[in-house]
Structure 1
């Protein structure tokens, strides 16, 4: 159940890397992040890309804005927290597509980190719209999926965008989760106890 390619297999020096992360974190009424576990989980992949001379362009959904811009569901607080955790400047784009975003992406240099705004501010994200996927893909040279918690979704920034890259790869979090899942399904240690939980019955 391992991904065909890992971020380790990519030649990323000098390349812009579209990294799909899962930054769908909980906020309180003051828009303060109450649990940054998902952000921390993405750090090994982001830092590896930087160390190898790549330029990470991070994309994530956040909440359910239903295709409209909702300031309460902006990834701006995430950009701030990511900056704190990495002790590294994070450039925050006010959208995930468009000419302004393209200009920012094209101007990135080694050492830069770019976080795009909430992909679900566009209805095309959940519809897995081909044109939207293509526009997201145009920002980068390579694609890495490190959003295990969203990997089951056939959305533009998860599934659609991957078709525009020759060698889509998995990040370290994806690799770790697939390893655990694979071991649990193919060679579980016994006696075995399975605890299943979550907030959404549908998934």
Structure 2
């Protein structure tokens, strides 16, 4: 994969694809992590003499030019962080950009053909600069005009963030510190089956939590009550149980239950994994949390994707918090695969206490699974 060192940047106009798909409350950005993540690449390009940086990004999934998906709040926030004005061009046209050192084009999903990797739209993006840099790892698993088509038309390379993401995630598979521990949670086995299989081939221990543990219990004839139990996940879970080495796959040994998915619901702890009728499992229990934390703290490398329960509800926060705090305490290399795990770390104030916090949930999982990422492959061809 080509990097910034492979590009001639002095005096160049650089088209940069960034991931500014930030959460908004109206026009207010509620989390600017993704904007801040792009700052090192922007700084590096300016230090290496780039004449102008033209930023491409998407926000949400607009069907037309819906104003609530405008990048105007993002351009304003980026300007605050950089200490300069960042103009926002309504179209990807050279004469709309102006001459500022850093400029931004409106939401690329406003333009027909973006998600279809349209060649004409890619050519419009390419006409904005002399070289292309992709720093949007969160979109790397998609072949779109702004991260795939344009990269074939200009000298292209990975930005610092995308480079770090790829090197860190592939490194934890290729040459991890031992023991390698994978923590896989969330709601659906079918969403994570590729990740589970990848780590069964490589990890010393795989810890399972969240609602995805219930298809594993169901596959063993254990009652799951009213818990979220993906029917389609039962057979894949059974196959994982067969494939795992003895002691490699760890499932919860106790549970925290609720009557309903609500913060004020009636709760109970069961020292075991049988869920009574009328109850749903909403967190791993304290014994599981302690066991998982001890395994994490003794690890050489840890990969985490998916919470241990409904951490957004206070009664069902402890299991995910225990994992997050163990990730912060351990001396292991710790990699978090974005998504809800990243949200949990932020909620607990621990997002700066891990080795690497991925900005790309879906992309990070697909890379772990060994799938091709078009946005990365095009930077190597």
Q: TM-score, normalised by structure 1?
A: 0.87
**Structure 2 residue 195 is matched with structure 1 residue 190:** no
Q: Does 1:73 align with 2:69?
A: yes
Any stretches of 5+ residues in structure 2 without a counterpart? 183-303, 307-338, 341-360, 367-381
Structure 1 residue 82, shift from structure 2 partner: 0.3
Counterpart of 1:152 in 2: which secondary structure? coil
Structure 1 residue 53 displacement after superposition: 1.9
Stretches of structure 1 that go unaligned for 5 or more consecutive residues are none
| Alignment match, 2:60 | 63
Separation (CA, whole Å) in 2 of partners of 1:161 and 1:108 = 22
Question: C-alpha root-mean-square deviation of aligned residues, in Å?
Answer: 1.8
Alignment match, 1:102: 94
Instruction: Using the TM superposition, give the Cα deviation of residue 152 of structure 1 relative to its aligned residue in structure 2, in angstroms.
Output: 1.0
The equivalent of 2:13 in structure 1 is: 16
Contact 2:10 2:49 in 1 (8 A): yes
> Equivalent residues in 2 for 1:1-203 (5 A)?
3=1, 5-28=2-25, 30-54=26-50, 55-66=52-63, 68-95=64-91, 97=92, 101-105=93-97, 107-108=98-99, 112-165=101-154, 167-194=155-182, 195-197=304-306, 198=339
Deviations 1:49-92 (CA, angstroms, capped at 9, x unpaired): 112221110001110002x1011000000000001111122121
> In the aligned structure 1, how far is the partner of 2:145 from the partner of 2:138?
15
Greater than 6 Å deviation, 4+ residue runs: 199-203
**Aligned residue pairs, count:** 190
Distance in 2 of aligned mates of 1:156 and 1:13: 26
Structure 2-normalised TM-score?
Answer: 0.48
Contact kept? 2:7, 2:156, Cα under 8 Å? no
Distance (whole Å) between structure 2 residues aligned to residue 8 and residue 53 of structure 1: 13
